[in-house]
Amino acid sequence: MNLAGQLQEGLAALGLDLSLAMQSKLLGYVALLKKWNATYNLTAIRNESEMVTQHLLDSLSILQALSESTLAGPRSRIPGRRSPGRRWADVGSGAGLPGIPLAIARPDFDMTLIESSDKKSAFQRQAKIELALANVTVAGGRVQDVPGGQFDVVVSRAFAELADFVSLAGHLAVKNGRLYAMKGLPSEVEMSRLPPGWAVLDCSRLSVPGLDAQRHLIVLERV
């Protein structure tokens, strides 16, 4: 099966109905990642088919859980205006994961990518240009240095422990904002070590087509 067919099959399994233009951008991102990876070693995954599964579909799998995790606010009916709940930050974004696939699939999200590595931020900027991602902002530098209170959702994929995620990135969320941690197997011990003032709202198992490994979305909120 070619990459386009693999992506279409995976999206169908996730229940996502993305336009051909969105699918083309997703595959364009994979092609760009493979090209840059040859020189800059952005990801340990080299095979494009594995990138579709472990990068694209894995990133997009959290869209299944959004209705359960509850995204604040309805979409705005005013053209050009974003609604509450649509301001996202991807912390420790690396090569732009999960932020870039999510931004492609959901152009109504304002996605800010926060990454301290200069070479990875450079790749993100190139991807933003080549894929014409008007809803993506690339913020280089450390997450601790980013001004707080800006985002409805702060997401991270394979970040450090939940306590570190909250300590480093919790300030980014607005008053009623949430932190989304994409993890493998959830750890009760890890969840019990959250800093004071934060609690686990939800822990949902994610299904990633073609991936024989457990994935979970842990939703954190202030209490």
pLDDT of the chain along its 223 residues, tens only? 899 999 999 999 999 999 999 999 999 999 999 999 999 989 999 999 999 999 999 999 999 887 644 444 444 444 444 444 589 999 999 999 999 999 999 999 999 999 999 999 999 999 999 999 999 999 989 999 999 999 999 999 977 799 999 999 999 999 989 999 999 988 899 999 999 999 999 999 999 999 998 999 999 999 9
Compute the CA torsion angle 201, 112, 208, 13 (nearest 10 deg): 100
Tally of domains within the chain: 1
Is residue 98 reached through a cis peptide bond, with omega within 30 degrees of 0 on the bond before it? yes
Report if residue 182 sits inside a domain: yes
Closest CA to 129 of 2, 40, 36, 62: 36
CATH of the domain at 161: 3.40.50.150
* pLDDT given at position 72: 43
Indicate whether 77 belongs to any domain: no
Question: Does 22 reside within a domain?
Answer: yes
Other beta carbons within 10 angstroms of residue 155's beta carbon come to: 26
In a domain, 93, yes or no: yes
Please, what sign has the CA dihedral across residues 141, 144, 150, 154?
A: positive
Q: Specify the residue for token string 């336009």.
A: 19
State how far Cα 45 lies from the chain centre. Answer: 17
Indicate whether 75 belongs to any domain: no
Distance CA 178, CA 211 (A): 27
Domain ranges, residue 137: 3-70+82-222
Say if 146 falls within a structural domain. yes
For residues 192 and 218, what is the distance between their CA atoms, to the nearest angstrom? 13
Q: Is 44 left (phi over 0), alpha (psi -120 to 50) or beta?
A: alpha
37 lies in some domain: yes
Position 76 in a domain: no
Q: Which of 146, 207, 219 is nearest to 15 (CA)?
A: 207
CA 22 to each of CA 52, 106, 200: distance values in angstroms, whole numbers, following the listed order: 14, 9, 33
The per-residue pLDDT for 82 is 46
